[in-house]
Structure 1
């Protein structure tokens, strides 16, 4: 009996778990151990899992945000609504990436109805007849003793001359024989070297461009036919700053050639403002290259992608025009364009207002469908011309306005058309075709001039008077022969992005 009881107790004892062994086993397992270090592990595990989830959620949200931004960019760049499409930045790296991927196409482009073969284009044998102006000559000696109001002025000659208000008024009266101010006054600057003067004498067909103050490097035209390469002179007008910059950044052959472009150096820039200097070859192409019968101007930041001979056939010869320029993308009204220039800080705001008050005083109405022109505001980066006496007169008068007032040439174009009272006919072609002529490249750096930030005339007085240009825009500071205080500028409807 005692043996049975002892056996039963021993059996129960043997079945009782060994707590020390069990404890050691659990500690060794490291999952639910009872020691202090193992008791913190569930919290750490939860924290780690939460952090991973947070990273995943954050990454997903970030990717969704990028996707939304890209979709918004695609929508704005593809939209046909002006206010929406104006948001799209076509110069951005994002747009270029999306365009490369085929997700967006450059907006406001359309095919140009060009002739099929440059080799078969017939070049007119005779110059276009000039109905209103038969003979045009230019003032070349500057009257440095009188400026626009007839008072004493600086002794040095000005490139644009000291044009009086009366001379300006008379220049708009179209006659068979005319003599007008047209830049290039003796000792006024913008001088070409003798070898360049000799070279351009042979240029009857010209593609011209310009780079000033080192803002660009030459971009080689593409799709140029062998016939056009033989027919055209490709002339890139530069100042000394730009020439040095180009030589440091681009391969220049014989100090004169960058690819197809012949570099034409203008010594002694006539103005303080590089943008105003750039208007010399752009508007006065006929004076810089007097032997040219036809010219195509394209801004230095653009790469021409259309054969120039086909451009002459499309924009001049087909419709028997002598001057062609594109319609502005957003604005038809000069006063609207002026308001946009103020918002984008393209020049001193009070001086833009003064400029517009002169035009309003002289009768310029805001553009309306009743006008004979498609628009009063062009895209001035591409200009196609036959150099007839009338188109040369228009270019001179356009330049005189740029010389006297603000350097924003888009503000002056429609005014000169208005003052010529219908005698100057031109082809203003669609903006979508304009955008198909070139590929736009960004400037090497942003342009900024202190005068562009001026908000009031008081900022241009006293110690800050040095902000004023000393050789251009003098008409803004000369007493105007009319009461501008009574002029009220037309209200402007802002239909485009300020910039």
Structure 2
């Protein structure tokens, strides 16, 4: 051990003179001692400058990163704050917020203040309609061609739309004719007195109750100007009207119109579908067809109590940003395939039929939502829809309804698909979900909705033409032979993005 240690000591000792000699040689070089000393001094100054510049860059970079981090932390703090003032500072429509939300660093609040105008009396209503883009004239099929698909059945409310007609309907032209419900003798008939009443309605707040699942909830915070300007129309079927009369006071005016508070009851006789949820999509999506004189409409689901003045809503969501269609972003999902998976897990409709619809969408090119898409999300909260009745908006509503008519009544599954098929020519404002939750008070249904079809797990349960699980007037696209082989279509893998979703 002792012998091993000595060589290392002697080696270090032997190296010291070498270093001294080297230093001496450097100093001794050149024209003289003073010149070499001057050169060494210049060299040292250069080293100091270089080191200082590098340090300056490092310090500047660190300060810059700290500044950016501070701004992001302040942004997160304001967006998460429960104080109205701080919450208002946060721009929830910004790219930064969307990036932070995607990274999971910020969670949008359940409710937030809506930047409404201060006084409904001072809101300026546009004098002219928004210019028509892409579509100038839109008409509808009113008679059903029952031989289109080799069927001899009676006329359907949505018509026997062929796959070829469906494909053509997505191609925008100046003049178009499409299926849009209300086929003659297909059901959903309105009485003459109600038709006469809605002719005067230019501004509409619409809602609907089917199969007695809700009772009308009276809106609050409605200004005198809005009470004069808007028609508040509650669309019901005969089952719901009977239920309402048994539980709520219904008044009749001199013209035979029936009222529950501010709501004018609009009865649709002969419901067009077997499924109440599908019947509810008629006034929700086809508002422009039920009320053809309307220039603007606000749809709110029957289980909701509106607590925001409708004129202020039009100013906030349409006129301020020069939009014509506004709908809220879904709280949990942006990807249609995620929403479909959630519907299956929650038993909102038959699982194999949802998969069949998604396979058709996948075959037709619909990719899962990513931040690279031009829309904030492919999945909306469809319980509130704010729109101007322009030709393009009316066309979108028709195409959206046709998907609901052909496939499942889960309209959130088809909204983003129709946007995709129109190649982003349909522009809309998707507002934050926290504002959506500040527009209404949610009331529970009078009873739980239940349908046998929601619990089906296999297509084998649908075998046989007399299967009681098949809807006879809706969802026929799920049973019509699709003009392509879907067996090789693989649905994108999805992950559960939230506990609630």
TM-score clears 0.5: yes
2:453 match: 451
Secondary structure (helix, strand or coil) at the match of 1:484 reads coil
> RMSD value over aligned CA atoms?
1.5
Q: 1:460: Cα distance to partner?
A: 1.2
Structure-1-length-normalised TM-score: 0.77
Alignment equivalent of 1:212, drawn from 206, 210, 231: 210
Distance 1:401 1:491 in 2: 23
Corresponding residue number in structure 1 for 2:231: 233
Deviations 1:62-120 (A, max 9, x none): xxxxxxxxxxxxxxxx999xxxxxxxxxxxxxxxxxxxxxxxxx961000000000000
Does the C-alpha gap of structure 1 residues 299 and 498 become closer, same or farther in structure 2, counting only changes over 3 Å? same
1:325 to 314, 324, 327: 327
State the distance in 1 between where 2:265 and 2:148 align. Answer: 36
Give distance in 2, aligned partners of 1:200 and 1:286.
Answer: 11
User: Which stretches in structure 2 are left out of the alignment for 5+ residues?
Assistant: 1-79, 83-107
Residue number in structure 1 paired with 2:140: 138
State the structure with more CA Rg: 1
Query: Which residue of structure 1 aligns with residue 68 of structure 2?
Result: none
Q: Which residue of 1 aligns with 2:102?
A: none
**CA distance, structure 1, for counterparts of residue 258 and residue 223 of structure 2:** 22
Aligned to 2:352: 350
1:463: how far off? 8.4
Q: Which runs of 5 or more residues in structure 1 are unaligned?
A: 1-77, 81-105
- Residue of structure 1 equivalent to 2:165: 167
- Report deviation, 1:380: 0.1
Counterparts of 2:300 and 2:453, CA distance in 1: 26
What is the CA-CA distance between 1:346 and the residue it aligns to?
Answer: 0.3
Partner of 1:19: none
Question: Structure 1 CA distance, aligned partners of 2:156 and 2:199?
Answer: 26
Q: Please tell me whether the aligned partners of residues 344 and 498 of structure 1 are also in contact (alpha carbons under 8 angstroms).
A: no
Deviation at 1:127, TM superposition (A): 0.1
Cα distance in 2, alignment partners of residues 328 and 454 from structure 1: 26
CA offset digits 1:168-196 (Å, max 9, x no partner): 00000001110000000000000000000
The 3-state SS of whatever aligns with 1:174 is coil
The separation in 2 between residues aligned to 1:408 and 1:464, in whole angstroms, is 24
CA drift of 1:422 comes to: 1.4
Distance 1:263 1:450 in 2: 30
1-side partners of 2:433 and 2:395: how far apart?
25
Shift of 1:145: 1.4
Alignment partners' CA distance in 2, 1:219 and 1:174: 39
CA distance in 2, matches of 1:421, 1:107: 32
Alpha-carbon distance in structure 2 between the residues aligned to 1:419 and 1:463? 32
Cα distance between partner residues in 2 of 1:464 and 1:483: 26
Matches within 5 A, 1:230-309: 230-254=228-252, 256-309=258-311
1:462 CA drift (Å)? 3.6
Match in the other structure for 2:48: none
Aligned-residue offset at 1:132: 0.8
Query: Where does residue 315 of structure 1 map in the other structure?
Result: 317
Secondary structure at the aligned position of 1:466 is classed as coil
Q: 1: distance between equivalents of 2:309 and 2:500?
A: 34
Distance 2:361 2:153 in 1: 29
Give 2:33's aligned residue. none
Distance (Å, rounded) in 2 between the aligned partners of 1:143 and 1:319: 42
Which shows bigger deviation, 462-471 or 392-401?
462-471
Question: Following TM superposition, by how much is the alpha carbon of 1:496 offset from its aligned partner in structure 2, in angstroms?
Answer: 2.2
Residues in 2 aligned to 1:373 and 1:155: alpha-carbon distance in whole angstroms? 40
Counterpart-to-counterpart distance in 2, 1:128 and 1:460: 47
Q: 2:124 aligns with which of 88, 107, 122?
A: 122
1:223 aligns with 2:221: yes
Superposition misfits of 4+ residues, deviation over 4 angstroms: none
Q: 1:495 maps to what in 2? A: 497
Where does 1:286-435 land on structure 2 (aligned, <5 Å)?
286-435=288-437
